[in-house]
Structure 1
Amino acid sequence: MNNKQLSPQQCGELLDVLKARFNKNLHRHKGLEWANVQAKLAVNADKLWSLNEMELTGGEPDVIGYNAETGEYTFYDCSAESPQGRRSLCYDRQALDSRKAYKPENNAVDMAAAMGIELLTEMQYRYLQELERFDLKTSSWVKTPADIRKLGGAVFCDRRYDTVFLYHNGAESYYAARAFRGMLTV
């Protein structure tokens, strides 16, 4: 079996978790029906594998939208705080390689790619925060514009004082309370 493929039992268990989360959080996807989402997932085993990776690392993925033009559903990490299994990561491979000491185990960009997902952009992060309040105690790396990254920086967001903030840091930095939130279209 391909290592990026779930067993039938794993598929069933994941679909049960996703369905329960979908039904518990209808405010995130008004007007959408689980049966349509599940039908789309049934023919996209690779996407189901990526959703499982999001789940295993604590992201609690949920549907946050539907694009009628493409017929795609969008999933974001919807865990209350940044995903536990993706914390203490610097921003990207270049940042990881530049560290001389106390290197983290991985970086956000490579980990997202290995999971088959993308980091949220600042705009996507702000949209997520319109659905409910996230990252009240943690922060999340977001996709950094190339001009900022070229100068050695990276950006992250969080929510404090009932406001969503965008901050900067050296891309090589990492903290126990910072992870990344991902997105996947199916």
Structure 2
Amino acid sequence: MGKSKKEKLSTEQQVTLLVTLKTRFEKNMPRHKGLKWADVEARLTAAADKLWTLHIMEETGGEPDVVGFDKKAGEYIFYDCSAETPAGRRNVCYDREALESRKEHKPADNAVDMAAAIGITLLTEEQYRELQQLGKFDLKTSSWVETPPAIRKLGGALFCDRRYDHVFTYHNGASSYYAVRGFRGSLKV
């Protein structure tokens, strides 16, 4: 994916995205109990850069949806809520260092740089577990999650999935990549 320049959506793209997000919001009310779409929409229409980020999240298969509201910061929290890890963000190693360490068979990109280019942050393990309280995600795939520096320093990285009706956190070499492993992100608006 590389570095993505922030662009502005056309009026038509904005309308299409807002309709998609509103439909998803209304279809999945348990994800955001007590929140009103009109309030979310007002915040979104005032934040063109965040709309662009949500557009890219949508385009890469993330199906972003509101999962909460940070009262202290006054921001709505969006997570990738696709049933499986976003299809347009799979087959990537963990970060640039891992990508550069591969001598051959390098993946096209890495999760950390892709997330930064989109304008999102990788879910933490805690956020991933919160997401799993809202539904059943990654039953066939897995998602890289933010890895503590001590683990990364030793060459590892963490990923999560849901199997046997339980959420698991695993480790792997940060340079590994698989067709069924991608990453999920979060965005505050």
Q: Please, what TM-score do these two structures have when normalized by structure 1?
A: 0.98
2:107 maps to 104
Aligned residues: 185
Is 1:164 paired with 2:173? no
Is 1:91 paired with 2:98? no
- Report SS of the residue matched to 2:133: helix
Q: CA deviation at 1:68?
A: 1.8
CA distance in 2, matches of 1:96, 1:177: 17
Q: CA deviation at 1:3?
A: 5.0
Q: Deviations over 1:88-125 (max 9, x none)?
A: 00000000000010100000000000000000000000
Correspondent of 1:180 among 175, 179, 183: 183
Is 1:131 paired with 2:108? no
1:49 maps to 52
- Aligned-pair identity in percent equals 67
2:20 maps to 17
**Would the aligned equivalents of 2:6 and 2:49 in 1 still touch at CA under 8 Å?**
no
CA distance in 2, matches of 1:4, 1:168: 36
CA distance in 2, matches of 1:27, 1:102: 42
Q: CA deviation at 1:69?
A: 2.0
- CA RMSD in angstroms comes to 0.8
CA distance in 2, matches of 1:170, 1:163: 23
1:151 maps to 154
Q: CA deviation at 1:82?
A: 0.4
- Report SS of the residue matched to 1:103: coil
Q: Please, what TM-score do these two structures have when normalized by structure 2?
A: 0.97
1:142 maps to 145
Q: CA deviation at 1:139?
A: 0.1
CA distance in 2, matches of 1:107, 1:71: 31
Q: Deviations over 1:51-88 (max 9, x none)?
A: 00100000000000011222100000000000000000
Unaligned runs of 5+ in 2: none
The structure 1 segments of at least 4 consecutive aligned residues displaced by more than 4 Å after TM superposition are none
Q: CA deviation at 1:159?
A: 0.3
